[in-house]
Amino acid sequence: MHDDRSLVEGRLKRVLDERLRPAVYPESVPLEVVVWHAPDEPVPVAEGLAAEPEPIAVGARWGAPWGTSWFRVTGTVPKEWAGKTVEALLDLGFDENMPGFQCEGLVYRPDGTPVKGLNPRNQWVRIGAPVEGGEEVRLHIEAASNPVILDYHPFLPTKLGDKETAGSEPQYRLERMDLAVLDETVWQLVIDLEVLGELMAELPVESARRWEILRAVEKALDALDLQDVGGTAAQAQVRLETVLSEPAAPSAHRISAVGHAHIDSAWLWPLRETVRKVARTTSNMTALLDDEPEFVFAMSQAQQWAWVRDHRPEVWARVKKAVADGRFVPAGGMWVESDTNMPGSEAMARQFVHGKRFFLDEFGIENEEAWLPDTFGFAAGLPQIIKAAGSKWLLTQKISWSQTNKFPHHTFRWEGIDGTRIFTHFPPVDTYNCSMKGSEIAHAARNFKDKGVARHSLAPTGWGDGGGGTTREVIAKAARLRDLEGSATVAWETPAEFFTKAETEYPEPPVWVGELYLELHRATLTSQAKTKQGNRRSEHLLREAELWAATAAVRTGFPYPYEELDRIWKTVLLHQFHDILPGSSIAWVHREARRTYERLADELNGLIDAAQRALAGEGTRELLFNSAPHARGGVAAGGAGTAVVEGRTTVTESSGGGHVLDNGILRIRIDTRGLVVSAYDIEADRETVAPGQAANLLQLHPDFPNMWDAWDVDEFYRHTVTDLTDVDEITPEGHGVRITRAFGASRVTQVLSLAPGERRLLVDTEVDWHETEKFLKLAFPLDVHAERYASETQFGHFHRPTHTNTSWEAAKFEACNHRFVHLEEPGWGVAIVNDSTYGHDVTRTVRTDGDRGTTTTVRASLLRAPRFPDPETDQGVHRFRHALVPGAGIGDAVREGWRINLPERSVRGAQEVAPLVTVDQQAVVVTAVKLADDGSGDVVVRFHEAHGGRTRATLRAGFEVAGVTVTDLLERPLTDAPSPRSEGNEVSLRLRPFELVTLRFTRA
């Protein structure tokens, strides 16, 4: 037989495009349209419905950036349409290739009842099936004219990302407002031909199945009269019945489709718009669940559920019913789909605490999976947190974006720093916006790396990023793929159903140890510095507020601020969303974030001050409150008293220029450039700075990645570097020196100081930053030979190699740390600690002359200046604090990391304050002291082993104890945990490396 594939395939494409799809709606009449443009921010529904509109014609432009327009459409169903299915077609000016990224609408009935959302892939509203004819139609559309930020030429700088700079030029043109007859037979034929055409294109040319489909499609097209599509569509469908009824092979890959609408809680739109996106999407999905009995929809992010509950009660009622029916499924058990690299230990724990508790309180549902399809890599401490929250599975998608190395598994057990293993799945469909295209389904089956031992994978199915969700077309395709020869099989299932089957099928999958590093989006560790600083500061202020409020509540009866802390935690957790904290959102989002963090800081400082004054009492004695988990200056961790400062620091000028700082522990030499050329550990007789090098070196790189400006830094940025060594002024100040220097359009002021009795050189840096597309680093070249280094992560630290033996190691040229980076040779090490930065790089070179030793350089990433999506990223004044800690063991790194983030507070009062809880082992770090969330008055203490070794510890409560229980993160007793050995107010424990423990003390 002659090969006529291209002829038939071309015929199919043209007939679909030019005859069949237009014939889905064979008859239509226009609706009358009027509009009212809200003058500013969105208004309540009642106000929008009652507003006085003005006429608008199809073809007219509408919608200033970030505006809201209320359209009212009215009309009458023609009498001659009686018995037919009629829909309103409401096209606001959509580009169907941009669902979630442009204008959207929510349709209401005149009484304010929401009907469904409108988006580029969902432009219809059912009027009747069938209609009687003569029905009056009246619908209202709350239309959001969100501007397109990520356009067909992506990453171009735009001022549209902030309402304050976006202007008022209309963004859209009203395209269609009609009543139309839906020909369901033609619609079904279109789906049949799409499914078969897409499947056919994925089959081998040599396969008989491909040719069978080709011949059936050809016969169907032959049966179709293109001048009478509606009259002949049923005949064409008959020609396809045989090929559509052939069952899949028994060995076919099995896909669990989960209805999905990934909705970024903020990204190319502000938080307030996400509230409306969620309402539109949930309206659509509850309506679709009513129409499609097999469909299952899952939605994560408790915050988004709370938005529906609080802002759209009518939609919430429909959601609750669908949840009760088991078809609208809470997923993930987190407050938001957060970044997992940068949130601190407690914050990462609270994501699960608040997320899981919301679903338990509202629905009595316990989530057992973490659902993070779009998060930019996963910290090595996360498995233990997932387990401690009572969950056991993880789903993500984003690792498939890695540029260099292909991850070797799709289903595996992920082992964290403490040895906890979590059953994990990466959907091989390689998208969290699956639309059931044949190419997607075939890719999932081909791509699945666990063939031969497993055959199940999951496909998050529906339009996402900006929401929208699953469509009736997608569900219709899935129905045809349920059991179809040549294809993977598809069934709608909940995440729990998938994971249960997958784990049963593959009980001993391979194990991946350590972080799940995304080889992309590395610059998200640095972009939008003030957002990151706001997060870090808020985390530590919350620690202080809980600690001192709990202490004051137990000691003085101080009213514990349950509601305030709950609200503030949820606000901080929201801003850890994976496009807010990473700095990849529009200017509006980060402008609001800065203001939010300032407001939270004021409120938390007020709570802390009130609790500390209640503890200190009335008096004139100066007390230092120590919120850090280690004693300092003679003041116990979690206590208050009079600090003791021992020793002195001298600041002298060098004979050859520059200055020497000496406190008897360290001797720091600063040259005339303001650079540290020596950091000498006097007791160890050991130099810290590599020979011929200088620390505290600011370095500037060009920074113009190939794509994803705010997200990415590409390795070639290192090819060009400018050392900022010109200095304007160096003057002694206190226990150190002040240095000022200028570069480009920017200016830096640094204070290097060495306090008496301290083993750390503080580096306070203020940058007035006005560069564009540049990357600023702070370098510390160290005379340390180390094949690996430690960087802090949640509830411990993680080691990365300093070398680049393999492509996996080379790809980690920018990585995340929390409060410290630590390197060591046996018996001596160095730590670099920080109060607000996350991104860093570590490189090593071997000196070819002199001692031929190894220079290991640690560089902290301070600032970037990408122009997309925020063209003014990071412009302005920033302050950073780092410290160089020579002679530091890992315990010193842990301690100094906490101290730099939790400075002492001075309060005048009458008496010292004893800690509420003490631990006798430095390796055990208490991360939270609080009252139980249930209001019982029980004291909850969370701690972990922080040095990476086994240890014994005794924890003592500074109050009378009636009982103590080991709990999960939600403060529920752990039935499988051994009871702690306790006597009186003391609890004795044995901890494995990095083990996390939560104890709940009942007060006597």
pLDDT of 64 above 80? yes
Q: Give the pLDDT confidence of 409-448 residue by residue, as tens digits.
A: 999 999 999 999 999 999 999 999 999 999 999 999 999 9
Q: Which residues, including other chains, have CB under 8 Å from residue 380's CB and lie 6 or more apart?
A: 416, 417, 514, 515, 793, 796, 798
1 has a pLDDT exceeding 80: no
Evaluate whether 51 touches 36 at the Cβ level (below 8 Å). Answer: yes
In the block, tokens 């032959």 appear at 222
Average pLDDT over residues 28-32: 98
Any idea which residues carry the catalytic annotation? 374
For the sheet with 421-425, list strands across it.
Answer: 369-371, 393-395, 421-425, 411-415, 511-513
At residue 670 the predicted structure's pLDDT band, cuts being 50, 70 and 90, is very high
For 484-503, how does the pLDDT look when each residue is reduced to its tens digit (9 = 90+)? 999 999 999 999 999 999 99
Q: What is the pLDDT of residue 229?
A: 98
pLDDT tier, 183 (very low <50, low <70, confident <90, very high otherwise)? very high
Whether residue 773 has pLDDT greater than 70? yes
% of residues, the chain, pLDDT over 90: 98
DSSP class of 551: H
For residues 16 and 1003, give the distance between their C-alpha atoms in angstroms, rounded to a whole number.
73
Tokens describing residue 251: 């060995």
- Average pLDDT of span 225-253: 98
pLDDT digits (tens, 9 = 90+) for 381-418: 999 999 999 999 999 999 999 999 999 999 999 999 99
Do residues 89 and 82 touch, judged by C-beta distance below 8 A? no
Mean pLDDT (whole number) for 200-211: 97
Distance of CA 542 to the CA centre of its chain: 20
**Cross-strand bridge partners of residue 36:** 70
What is residue 979's predicted lDDT score, i.e. its pLDDT? 79
Which has the minimum average pLDDT: 525-539, 643-657, 689-703, 724-738? Answer: 643-657
Q: Using pLDDT thresholds of 50, 70 and 90, give the confidence band for residue 849.
A: confident
pLDDT of residue 850: 81
CA distance 767 to 740: 10
Contact between residue 961 and residue 941 where contact means Cβ atoms under 8 Å apart: no
Mean pLDDT of 769-784: 98
Query: What are the beta bridge partners of residue 119?
Result: 122
pLDDT for 923 beyond 70: yes
In this prediction, residue 999 carries a pLDDT of 98
What pLDDT sits at residue 434? 98
**3-class DSSP state of 946:** coil
Q: What is the pLDDT of residue 977?
A: 79
| Segment 201-212 mean pLDDT | 97
Across the chain, mean pLDDT equals 97
Task: Report the pLDDT value the prediction gives residue 978, as an integer from 0 to 100.
Answer: 78
Spatial distance between the Cα atoms of 813 and 842, rounded to a whole number of angstroms: 8
C-alpha distances (whole Å) from 635 to each of 100, 631, 918, 941 are: 54, 5, 12, 20
Cα gap 674→690, rounded to integer Å: 17
| Helical residues (DSSP H) of 727-868, grouped into ranges | 807-810
CB 561 within 8 A of CB 872: no
Beta bridge partners of 328: 297
pLDDT for the residue 2: 80
Distance CA 76, CA 396 (A): 48
35 three-state secondary structure: strand
pTM above 0.85, yes or no: yes
Closest to 99 measured CA to CA, from 538, 432, 380, 464: 464
Confidence class for position 981, pLDDT limits 50, 70, 90: confident
How far, in Å, CA of 878 to CA of 570, rounded? 26
Mean pLDDT computed over 277-284: 97
Q: Which helix (H) or strand (E) holds 497?
A: helix 495-505
Residue type, 431: T
* Bridge partners, 990 (sequence order): 952
> What does the alpha-carbon distance between residue 705 and residue 702 come to, in Å, rounded to a whole number?
9
So what's the pLDDT on residue 632? 94
Q: Name the residue with tokens 């974006």.
A: 401
**Measured torsion, CA atoms of residues 870, 874, 875, 876, in degrees rounded to the nearest 10:** 140
Find the mean pLDDT for residues 346-372: 98
Cβ contact 259:285 at 8 Å: yes
Q: SS3 of 595, please? A: helix
921-930: average pLDDT: 98
